[in-house]
Structure 1
């Protein structure tokens, strides 16, 4: 017997929960929950950060954690496998898994099947639909679980998952999903080229401005001439290759000696120690502060006190790249002047010399010149910050995207359940 409409739920599947670097997911979950959708969260990994965003505390959806590594919970995995063996969709699931494994022979692939066994067994009957964030490993788990149980599924693709997942895998997953959304025009065009164009829709995350204080009415007109009151430069992002922080350290080190500035970085990441060493070797360690991970209120306070926001994103050697980083919109929410790279989804929001200043990705000299120019010109910073805030409020509010997701997810849970594919 099918559950009643009022009891029908949607499982939102994520790679890790909660994560400070994924406020866009928390914002979406909270907004959909506030609109009356009945959600639960399934995570492939346990949290690794102590700080928690206020939005995570406001979300009421229950959270379930899958075994991060199968050997850590062998009985749970075994129960899932035995249960799955008896399901109508088992043969179809194994066929899909075997095709995947032949092209990607890895322990990671086996782990996703084991996680899918556990999810399929433990997921309540009231869950009618699965919506997964990221088209790479989380979508593999959801795809296998959907094949096992006959549930429908959809996806939100973002950045790394688009650009580092093989085309064959993206094609096959998108062919089985009801639909998908992604957060940049560049990403949407790429995914549409691999599927039916109507299969993937551009939906910007946008920003819920009700969560942010009003932009400061004015900022001090620092111009880098006073050693006792240096210009404050800030960036927020993980210390990973695609964020380009090595280029930023080189750019800062090349600034003229008569320019007085301080730089603060917020975020954790694998390259953090290397960046600290680079700043020390460049002789600017006394001007640079690496603050580690911070909760959202602390980040907003830092943005409000800053004069300039910088994010030098670029493509990593692995192919990983940003989408449209939410933190750029968060900086705009505080009327902060922005320097970024003309790369990925960034120019979809920031038009160079209109809402900010864009430089070529990987060009530290151009970045240094842009910093030098804007540090010395507080009036120009004020104009750019005001324009970025106006564009954010006019074209990148959260509501439009949530309207689309709400309508599509409600249609998904109201559609008839499908029978799992038999042999």
Structure 2
């Protein structure tokens, strides 16, 4: 079977917060897939990871807002309207509209028309990352152009989407793959058919090699050499940074610690104000967004990693945050919460410490214990690294995808051969 060129539809590209996607794209290229990347949004990050520079696929951008490129959208609609599936897609769009009447729904249909009108001649497959808005574009485009499509679902897109919307996409896509057991169970229950697959993203361990260094046995007793706490993540509500700051403020006064946060996000200003109000701002360094090389060094220079993930009021949540896997690859012990896919990597007391979400006092107790006990940190960190290197190598997920794509294309080739007889 000859591998077809595959269009990969992304919400935005490149993005610092989506290294797992970039890692997958590079892995597919190295496995022999010819990719064309299409993004719904242009990049906003000022930095980029080295992996983005290694991906060879060309990148194209759809109109982010239809009114910004009206002639392009009009040409797309005219060309798409000549396709046999256009009115089928229009019927699906009109069926969706009463349940989701907003500008975004119109935008997705317009973007789908442009995608079909500008479809690369050599491409024969569409794969999409995220099952919310990008999959809406993919579904309409597939209906218009008769393009087979598949989808990778992750976290927010699964848990903040309506059931009817997920069911419509799952019933039309060839298959879906997701990266946590909890997400898999939700999608499998909605799909009503066995076209949902579980595959952990894993980590490119070549970029996160074992650190042969030994961390000093800091125990929080020396103000001149405080225990170094680290968190990496966007400052958004689901990351629980307000809870983490509250927990830090509850730590005993005799403990010496410093906290470093790496990442951007809309909540940064509020969090900095909160740290000042709690009286802990002098112990905190806000680094902003960094690339993967700098983040790796922070993992190695730190003593303890903390991330207070939570489920927000609208259902948004993390799956298994990639930063937890990265930190563990460097034997950096992790304190987090027992939600979503986090429990699929960590077992509390065995290879990490997990507490209930939105519970600052419990988090403070876990932090204080880990700060005082360097031997505990070493034991937990080593156990976590062992598990990551055994079970979370990203080559496994690439093999899973290669198998799924190959099987689908073989089936499509067989159907085409049979219909031509």
User: In the alignment, what sits opposite 1:49?
Assistant: 45
Indicate the residue corresponding to 2:14 in structure 1: 18
CA RMSD of aligned residues (A): 1.3
Deviation for aligned residue 1:316: 1.0
Q: 1:198, CA displacement in angstroms?
A: 1.6
The answer to which structure, 1 or 2, has the higher relative contact order (CA under 8 A, 6+ apart) is: 1
The 5 Å alignment of 1:5-404 reads 5=2, 8-404=4-400
Which aligned runs of 4 or more in structure 1 are off by greater than 4 angstroms?
none
- Take 2:62 and 2:234, find their aligned partners in 1: how far apart are those partners? 25
Q: Distance in 2 between matches of 1:406 and 1:5?
A: 13
Distance in 1 between the 2:388 and 2:412 partners?
39
Q: Could you tell me how far 1:414 is from its partner in structure 2?
A: 4.0
CA deviation string 1:119-152 (max 9, x = no partner): 0000112111111010000000011111111010
Q: Structure 2: how far apart are the matches of 1:415 and 1:72?
A: 40
- CA deviation profile, 1:78-122 (whole Å, cap 9, x unmatched): 100111111101110000100111110000000000100110000
| Cα separation, 1, equivalents of 2:195 and 2:410 | 19
Q: How many angstroms apart in 1 are the aligned matches of 2:193 and 2:371?
A: 44
* Count of residue correspondences: 415
Q: Please report how far the alpha carbon of residue 197 of structure 1 lies from its aligned counterpart in structure 2 after TM superposition.
A: 4.7
**Using the alignment, how far apart are the partners of 1:11 and 1:389 within structure 2?**
35
Correspondence for 2:419? none
How many angstroms apart in 1 are the aligned matches of 2:405 and 2:122? 15
**Quick check: 1:374–1:380 contact (8 Å CA) kept in 2?**
yes
Bigger shift: 274-283 or 203-212?
203-212
Deviations 1:270-317 (A, max 9, x none): 111000000000000000111111100010011100000001100011
Question: Is the contact made by 1:264 and 1:288 (CA closer than 8 Å) also made in structure 2?
Answer: yes
SS of residue paired to 2:376: helix
Once the two structures are superposed, what CA deviation does each residue of 1:243-272 show, in whole Å capped at 9, x if it has no partner?
000000000011111101000111111111
Give the superposition deviation at 1:195. Answer: 1.1
Q: Could you tell me how far 1:208 is from its partner in structure 2?
A: 1.5
* Alpha-carbon distance in structure 1 between the residues aligned to 2:229 and 2:235: 16
TM-score normalised to structure 1 length: 0.96
Q: Supply the distance in 1 between the matched residues of 2:194 and 2:351 (Cα, whole angstroms).
A: 31
